A and B are shown apart, each in its own frame.
Chain A
Amino acid sequence: MTDKTVNSDVNQWFAHNQGLVDILPEKVVVEPYRILKGMGMQPADADDYLLDLISNEMEACKKKLMPEAAFNVHFSHQFSPGKYHIKLDEITFKTSKIVYSFLKKSTYLVLFSCTCGPAIENYSRELMKEGNSLEGLIVDLIGSEMAEWITEEVHLFIEKAMEQFGWGVSNRYSPGYCNWPVSEQHKLFALLGENNCGIKLTPTSLMLPIKSVSGMLGIGPGLKRLAYKCNICDDKNCIMRGK
């Protein structure tokens, strides 16, 4: 198969599959240790009281989860090295060194949005208001993990599909990560168009519902998901540095 026929097969696949992804809420998996980690704890630090609380709230959140996820592909792009600019259609993203370096080998770029819906964060807020701040925090953390889980499902869905063409996927990046300004969120949503899962942006570029994730990933031959590399990132302030 020539590169051209592969590209056109990939185009075909996207023509049929881009848009909403089916996410089954009953399949959601969140490991309790992730919630403990979110509270600065190791599994050994937790007592039964806390573990029971987490497992009860997990069940409550599963019932409230209304996952939505969508993606679209952008065939037309231009990379400007040095400035770390990536132009997709008519929109120029001013990314960062690290985001640029992981995406620059992509044949095409895929944009995505994912959300848990509003019910989990509303439930968390209610709990807090009632004075149950521990329960509220646990629900908040579960919501964050569920948003990550949905995003990972989309990433895997695209990764699996690309395998049949001998292609791979890159890491995914979100505005706000690795020094890519969060204000670029507006450009991302402009290109997502109707694939925005109903997420609204505030003037300061934050997503509502809060339990949402947006971002970009690359696809192409030879692409692989790699460990995040702090040594090549220029964000000296990032709190994930060296972790």
Chain B
Amino acid sequence: MKLTLHVWRQAGPQDRGRMEMLQVDGITSDMSFLEMLDKANEDLIHDGKEPVAFDHDCREGICGTCSMVIDGVAHGPQEGTTTCQLHMRAFKDGDSIHIEPFRSRAFPVIKDLVVDRGSFDRIIAAGGYVSVNTGSAQDANNLPVRKKDADMAMDAAACIGCGACVASCPNGSAMLFVAAKMGHLAHLPQGQAERKERALSMVAQMDAEGFGACSNHYECEAVCPKEIPATFIGSMNREFLKSSLCPDS
């Protein structure tokens, strides 16, 4: 396949950036999207030009590092799929593909397609954990968890923190991410002790980072590579409203 790429190029955080056109040839349908970019970069390096910077790590859809908006959709056209698991069979010879970084005030561009998602780490640091006293591990089945709760916790825990929810939201809101992290712990016995503080501190940090509010467009749910439902956002709203309005109950 031969493709025309329109890629966002930005030399550094201070650069204004622009879309740049690249031609890439010799792409096969079994290549992943990132392998296609690798090929484009090899060509650029061969021509003595600066390769396109993009984030990636596991390349098997579990780490959440790969992050780009492909043809106007975070992680591209295939539902429930990270960019690294998107394959070139989703495109055809002669296609033009637009590639942009995830855009949000809280995700500043570092270079080209690479953005700084440290804001997510700070939200986790604010409350997305359980405190565990040291000592020997508890018996495995010491804390029974209802099947329903275990399933909900697992659904939420599928979040890989990629940030596609923020990238796709017209308001640049991080609520699906925060709701998934909060919902995961709220459904488990280990998460109960710090439940209210967690809701308050994670939401406070989310707001401080400059993410938008949720207008219930549900774009996040549509692009989430782990297909986490937006009903978790409803649960988070409930957690937060209860925790802030009746902290003692």
Q: Do A and B come from one complex?
A: no
Q: B residues engaging A (CB < 8 A)?
A: none
